[in-house]
Each structure stands twice: as C-alpha cells, then as structure tokens.
Amino acid sequence: MKSQKVDEDWDKLYKETQIRDLPWFTKKLDSDLENEIKTRDLKKGRFLDLGTGDGTQARALAKHGFDVTGSDISGSAIENAKKLSNDINFLTDDILNSNLPANAFNFIFDRGTFHLFDDFQRKKFVKQIKRILDYNGIYFLKCMSIKQEEFSDGNGPNRLSKQEIRDTFRNDFDIEKIKATVFETINFDSDPKAWFVVLKKS
Ligand SMILES: C[S@@+](CC[C@H](N)C(=O)[O-])C[C@H]1O[C@@H](n2cnc3c(N)ncnc32)[C@H](O)[C@@H]1O
C-alpha cells in the first residue's frame, strides 16, 4: 500500500503544472456531492474542502452559500487558490498533523486525499477527521476504487475496496453510503472508477 508523496513533491507539482493539466482537474462541483447537497437540502454551514489543491471544489461550494475553508499540505497550491478567490479561507495544513480546531466544521469534502494514505496514516487521518468535525458532522469522501485498473505509469493513488473503507471508518463513523461512481475529469478518455462515501460522526 502506497503512502502519500511528501509535501515538497506536491509543492513541486503545483509549481510546475498548469492547473488544468492536473489529472483530477474539473471546474464543476463533484456531481455526487451536488446530489447529496440537494437531497439533504443543505443550505448553510461550515464546509472544509480537504486537500483543496487549486480550490475548484471549494469555490463551487462557496457559490452554494456555504462558509468554506480550503486546506492543503502544499503552500503553492494554497497560493494559487488564494489568487482565484477572496471569500474562502484557504490555508496550509497537513491533515495527518492538523492544526485545524476541534469541532470546526459541519461538513468535510475530500476529493482525492484519503486514498493517498497507507494503513498507518489512515489511523491518524480518521482521528483528525473525527476531531475537526462538529457533532453530527458529515464527511463526504470520493476515493479511487479497486475496480479501476492500475494506471500504466504506476503513479495512481491507492485503489480501495468497500471492505477497506468499512474497516477504516466503522469504529468512529456511521457509514451511510458507499456508492460506486467515477471521478469526473476532463483529462482521461474514460473517467476513473471511484467510491462516493457518506460518513456521519458517531
Ligand atoms: C488528487 S489531489 C485533489 C485536489 C482537489 N481535492 C481536487 O479535487 O481538485 C490531492 C490533494 O491532496 C493534497 N494533500 C496531500 N497530502 C495531504 C495532507 N497530508 N494534508 C492535506 N492535503 C494533502 C495534495 O496537495 C493535493 O492537492
């Protein structure tokens, strides 16, 4: 199981690559999250876009009316994101050793960060997510599915099974949904297979 690249690697990537050439680039809010916002009739609250990168998802969430924070381990990503929006609180933070305050968010969206971590890091990650979510807070996760073939350059993230997701979160969260879906991108011929997971702090 792969562990994540270190922060310098992320920083180098964000310095050297045009945002729209990044494999996960899309301007649109993730449709699974958008549907969930509609179905649950969510209109306000403190939303963290975790591993926000250039902040596309954070900006889309702010347009929905949420009070949005975007955090990322890469200072370069955060610098880029700040240039594109004034009404979002963008900050550098390593979620595995997070300085974000306890119970700070009603909702967390994570499109593509959890699946970077190995088993040891996942334990730290779950602890932090639980700490920073408010009571009854909801964590929306999009991660790569085991059903996705390995990428030919061997550079993809960890590909997860439903069972791994259950095993990781079941002691700390109510698992409300694990749905087979895709990562919507503009840079792949076919969208990579993914899970959309809804977890409530228990
Ligand atoms: C696949 S990208 C997804 C970016 C963004 N969520 C999106 O969908 O456009 C993963 C992001 O996680 C960030 N990241 C990696 N490790 C992290 C950590 N320990 N804490 C916070 N962010 C991290 C990376 O810098 C990168 O921006």
What are the extents of the domains in the chain?
Answer: 7-201
CATH 3.40.50.150 correct for 7-201: yes
Residue 188 has a pLDDT of 81
CB of 137 shorter than 6 A to ligand 1: no
* Residue of 184, 176, 153, 190 lying closest to 107 (CA atoms): 176
- pLDDT at position 152: 78
Q: 4 CB under 6 A from ligand 1?
A: yes
Task: Collect the ranges in the chain with pLDDT lower than 70.
Answer: 4
Question: What's the pLDDT score for residue 19?
Answer: 87
Please tell me if the CB atom of residue 74 comes closer than 6 angstroms to any atom of ligand 1: yes
Q: Whose CA is nearest to atom 11 of ligand 1?
A: 51
| Nearest in space to 111 (alpha carbons), one of 171, 176, 60, 170 | 60
- CA 113 to ligand 1 centroid distance, Å: 5
Nearest to 113 by CA among 100, 98, 95, 130: 95
| Cα 16 to Cα 197: distance, rounded to the nearest angstrom | 32
Ligand 1 centre distance from Cα of residue 24 (Å)? 10
